[in-house]
Amino acid sequence: MVLLKRQLILWVWVSSALVVYSLPWRVSCPTGCVCQMKPWFSPQSVSCEASTVDCNNLFLTQLPSPLPPDTHTLRLQSNLLSALEIPLLHTLPNLTELDLSQNRFSCVRTLTLTQPQAASLPSLLSLHLEENQLWFLPPASFSSLPALQELFLSHNRLFYLAPGAFSGLGLLLRLHLNNNHLTSIEPRWFTDLGSLHSLVLGGMGLKGLTERALEGIPGLKFLDLNKNPLSVVQTGDFRDLVHLTELGLNNMEELVAIERAAMENLPELTKLEITNNPRLSYIHPQAFLRLGRLESLMLNSNALSALHQHTVLSLPSLREVSLYSNPLRCDCLFRWVAKEQPHTDTQMPQAVVVKPDPGTTCPAAVGTCWF
Ligand SMILES: *[C@@H]1O[C@H](CO)[C@@H](O)[C@H](O)[C@H]1NC(C)=O
């Protein structure tokens, strides 16, 4: 009997725990969709229960109806939508997240109505448009969404963004543009993005950075440029981004060199990752200037035969340099590491751990270095 009671208590406890994850929401729900209260995380990672209409994978060619007026999250992923009936959306004053990924949008005007006088979606914080067929963004493409904090445009066909494409999005925190066909970064795209923290520009055709390309984004903290055909990181490419904390330059097939002062005055940068670039053989001894807080320098799987001692000495907060899978040449260039590990030389910052491949032992041979 006691056992039975315990089981009952356990059952009640388990089922109430399950219920937390999707509570019924008694509204008239569009045919084929599921209307529930579901946990939702805001762009600042605050969670709440959100009235959610889930209409994913339904071959929809137009918005379902009737949509409950207090819809918070509307999921329309994997349908056949190419236009939205905007007036219908405007009956949802509390719409906070809209997922339109994997649809057939090719033109942003069919999405948001860009006329300045058009009614807006005042509560929308998060808009998903991944895997559509957008190829062009006109000026102020999303200005009818003044509250927007996250905009996901990955895996479209974008090859042209007009100057001011994102104007009106002064509260945007996160912008994903990866896997499109853009070949250069224009500073004029980013005017007005005063709150932007996180920018993903990986997997495109970026061959270089236009001068001052990122200067219009004063608050930028995370920048991802992975998988672009950049061949040289040039002097001044990353300069004066005073809030940048992490930078990734990984998986670049074409990258061969990092020039003098390629990274300069990035006072909050703590992690720099330059890995898996099979042709990267040269980092100028003074490539990194005024990176006062850099702690972690990841240089694995490149084609480096050397890392100049000056590079390490110029980084006062450095704690770790990782150099696995590089064809390091002991004879001339790398012997300072062999000589100075562990912590013998007065010049070497005490705490730095340099990690070449295990078994790299360097005889103190003399050679000629090429830088
Ligand atoms: C929108 O949210 C507000 C505040 O929570 C609420 O008072 C209002 O009734 C909601 N509007 C609709 C149409 O549900």
Atom of ligand 1 nearest to the CA of 94: 1
* Cβ of 32 below 6 Å from ligand 1: no
CB 32 within 8 A of CB 56: no
Report how far apart, in Å, the C-alpha atoms of 262 and of each of 8, 182, 240, 259, 281 are: 66, 22, 11, 5, 15
Q: CB atoms < 10 A from the CB of 358, how many?
A: 7
- The reported pLDDT for the residue numbered 230 is 93
- Whether 244 has a pLDDT exceeding 70, the answer reads yes
Residues 243 and 185 in one domain: no
- Residue at 26 is within a domain: no
Q: Are residues 157 and 297 in the same domain?
A: no
39 in contact with ligand 1, CB cutoff 6 A:
no
CATH of the domain at 330: 3.80.10.10
Q: Residue 22 falls within a domain, yes or no?
A: no
Q: For 205-212, what is the mean pLDDT?
A: 83
Pair (183, 48) in one structural domain: yes
Q: Is the pLDDT of residue 58 over 60?
A: yes
Please report which confidence band the pLDDT of residue 73 belongs to, taking 50, 70 and 90 as the band edges.
very high
- Ligand 1 centroid from CA 27, angstroms: 15
User: For residue 202, how far is its CA from the centre of ligand 1 (angstroms)?
Assistant: 39
Could you tell me the residue range of the domain that residue 96 belongs to? 32-210
- What pLDDT shows up at residue 326? 87
Give a yes or no: residue 13 inside a domain.
no
Residue 207 or residue 212, greater confidence:
207
From 28-32, 68-72, 258-262, 333-337, the region with the lowest mean pLDDT: 333-337
- Residues 285 and 330 both lie in one domain: yes
Q: Which of 35, 37, 40, 94 to mutate to test the pocket of ligand 1 (most atoms within 8 A of CB)?
A: 94
Flag whether pLDDT at 131 surpasses 50. Answer: yes
pLDDT at 1 over 60: no
Whether 17 has a pLDDT exceeding 50, the answer reads: no
The whole-angstrom separation of Cα 174 and Cα 182 is 18
Identify whether residues 45 and 108 lie together within a single domain: yes
Q: Mean pLDDT lowest for which of 98-107, 134-143, 293-302, 320-329? A: 320-329
7 assigned to some structural domain: no
For residue 68, report the distance from its CA to the centre of ligand 1, in Å. 11
Question: Look-up: residue for tokens 């042209």?
Answer: 160
Q: Do the domain assignments include residue 116?
A: yes
Structurally, the chain folds into a number of domains equal to 2
Q: What's the pLDDT at 208?
A: 83
The pLDDT, as a whole number, for residue 366 is 36
Question: What's the confidence (pLDDT) of residue 300?
Answer: 93
Burial 136-170 (b: 16+ CB within 10 A, else e): bbeebbbbbbebbbbbbbbbbebeebbebbbbbbe
End position of a domain, from candidates 149, 181, 210? 210
Block residue for tokens 């932007």 = 196
The answer to whether residues 39 and 184 belong to one domain is yes
Q: Is residue 14 part of a domain?
A: no
**Ligand 1 proximity of 123 Cβ (cutoff 6 Å):** no
User: Residue 268: its pLDDT value, please?
Assistant: 97
Annotate 26-51 with three-state secondary structure: CCCCCCCCEEEEEEEECCCCCEEEEE
One domain for residues 176 and 317: no
Average pLDDT over residues 302-306: 89
Is the pLDDT assigned to residue 359 strictly greater than 70?
no
**In the chain, % of residues over pLDDT 90:** 59
Tokens at residue 57, please?
Answer: 């994978």
Determine whether the shortest distance from the Cβ of 327 to ligand 1 is under 6 A.
Answer: no
122 lines ligand 1 (CB under 6 A): no
Which residue, 28, 147, 34, 49, is CA-closest to 96? 147
**Closest by Cα among 232, 181, 189 to 214:** 189
In a domain, 249, yes or no: yes
Distance 70 CA to ligand 1 centre (A): 6
Which residues have CB under 8 Å from 316's CB, separation 6+?
292, 349
Give yes or no: residues 102 and 152 share one domain. yes
Do both 97 and 181 map to the same domain? yes
CA of 92 relative to ligand 1 center, distance in Å: 9
Q: How far is the CA of 25 from the centre of ligand 1 (A)?
A: 15
> Is there a domain that residue 204 lies in?
yes
Picking from 176, 210, 244, the residue at the C-terminal end of a domain is: 210
According to DSSP, the β-strands at 198-200 and 160-161 are unpaired
**CA triple 84-89-94, angle to 5 deg:** 145
133 and 270 fall within a common domain: no
pLDDT in tens, 163-199: 999 999 999 999 999 999 999 888 889 888 999 999 9
- Please name the residue whose Cα sits nearest to atom 2 of ligand 1: 94
Pairing of strands 198-200, 174-176: parallel
Q: Which among 368, 370, 291 is positioned nearest to 332, based on CA atoms?
A: 368
Q: Give the pLDDT of residue 18.
A: 46
Same domain, yes or no: 115 and 250: no
Tell me which of 63-77, 105-119, 151-165, 348-362 is least confident.
348-362
Q: What is the mean pLDDT of the chain?
A: 84
pLDDT digits (tens, 9 = 90+) for 85-116: 777 888 899 999 999 999 999 988 766 544 55
DSSP string covering 298-326: E--SS--S---HHHHHT-TT--EEE--S-
Quote the CA–CA distance of 279 and 99 in Å, as a whole number: 39
The closest of 159, 155, 169 to 137, measured between CA atoms, is: 159
Using pLDDT thresholds of 50, 70 and 90, give the confidence band for residue 323.
Answer: confident
Query: C-alpha angle with apex 257: 251 to 260, nearest 5 degrees?
Result: 130
Instruction: Output the six-digit token pair for 205.
Output: 């055709």
Pick the range with the lowest mean pLDDT from 7-11, 94-98, 249-253: 7-11
Q: Does 192 share its domain with 245? A: no
